[in-house]
Amino acid sequence: MEITDNLNIVQFKPLITPEQLKEKFPLTDETAHLVAESRRVIQAILTNKDKRRLVIAGPCSLHDSKASFDYAGRLKKLQDKFRKKLLIIMRTYFEKPRTTLGWKGMLYDPYLDGTDNIEEGFNRARDILLEIGKNGLTCATEFLDPIVPQYLADLISWASIGARTAESQIHRQMASGLSMPIGFKNSTDGNLTSAVDAIKAAASPHSFLGISRNGQVIIAETRGNKFGHLVMRGGADCPNYGAEYVAFAGVLLKKAGIGNGIIVDCSHANSNKDYRLQRNAIIDVAGQVKSGTSLIAGVMLESFITAGNQKLTKPEKLTYGQSLTDECIGWEETEELISIFLLSQAQWQFACPLDDSLPVWP
């Protein structure tokens, strides 16, 4: 008989099961409580029951455990300082969607050499999440592959579905069964409709194919995720962090019967991928918050120790604490921008003028 399947598969490699990985890197009672409590706080912030705001800050993607722990320690000090006003959680993104080709993240290529040791990627990812949790900070990520949550989701307080996958039925179904609040990004052209539709779809029950903790293929039946919300990340032609865009989003959400708040992503298209323009975005959003809007539940910053980004090369030649993917603001600016996010209106205007030397976006 002529072979008709797996014609383009070179080989199948066995992978550690979610249960085996969790036995190898077990969740402690203390970290479990931290994750559960932070999810409850995020839910309360999204529904305006908690008057704090959410700040999601961290590298575009993680590639270096040492620098990741260094950054997390710095962020934890800010969380301790601002805990009465902010809930700060760290971006720990291990998967990166690629438009064409490129490094797909620590989960897929942890050695940065194209060997694609995915099992080692899972080991490193879970180890990083546990270490950050042990030090009292919680984590955010983007889920790209629907299998990944079974390995890592118990350590995640907030997750996103990206601009390119928010329209995907598979990701909407997956989100309906996830245990943490899920932010859906607007599409890359700036349209909000696909994300609003995704929030509604994920709030409903679904049945879909997946894997269990022991690696068995199963049918997952979900009850729906009631804490889906919109993440505004700008579009191809202009940013959408301004008050008029936020107000328009509020109208769409109200018509759709969605009562959860909005997260504004100060990076990506809202900064035209110029890390220096994240400042202008967060200052504008801070002004809206101080003007009394209840629509904005929080912000996201792409931030690392060293500003900018760098090309992938041999690990020993990389700049410490600098992004391999999108440009990030450096630590000093991260500390400054988070510090001013909830200042009073008068202090905000005096201390944080827009940087007129930067290019205007758009």
Residue carrying the six token digits 């249960």? 19
pTM for the model: 0.93
Torsion over CA: 50, 133, 231, 256 (sign): negative
Supply 161's token pair: 């579905």
Rounded distance, CA 162 to CA 145, Å? 12
Q: Average pLDDT for residues 320-343, to the nearest whole number? A: 93
Q: Is the pLDDT confidence value at 233 over 60?
A: yes
According to the model, what pLDDT value does residue 348 have? 39
According to the model, what pLDDT value does residue 282 have? 96
Rounded distance, CA 331 to CA 74, Å? 9
Question: What percent of the chain clears pLDDT 70, i.e. is strictly above it?
Answer: 94
Specify whether the CB–CB gap between 228 and 260 falls below 8 A: yes
According to the model, what pLDDT value does residue 206 have? 98
According to the model, what pLDDT value does residue 346 have? 33
Give pLDDT tens digits for 186-200: 999 999 999 999 999
Q: Per-residue confidence at 99, pLDDT binned at 50, 70, 90?
A: low
Q: Is the pLDDT confidence value at 228 over 80?
A: yes
Specify whether the CB–CB gap between 167 and 210 falls below 8 A: no
Average confidence score pLDDT of the chain: 93
According to the model, what pLDDT value does residue 116 have? 93
Give pLDDT tens digits for 114-126: 999 999 999 999 9
Dihedral in degrees, nearest 10, Cα atoms 299, 83, 90, 131: -170
Q: What is the largest CA-CA distance in the chain?
A: 79
According to the model, what pLDDT value does residue 175 have? 98
Q: Is the pLDDT confidence value at 353 over 50?
A: no
Give pLDDT tens digits for 19-75: 999 999 999 999 999 999 999 999 999 999 999 999 999 999 999 999 999 999 999
Cβ within 8 Å of residue 189, ≥6 positions away:
235, 236, 237
* Residue-range domains of the chain with CATH: 22-351 (3.20.20.70)
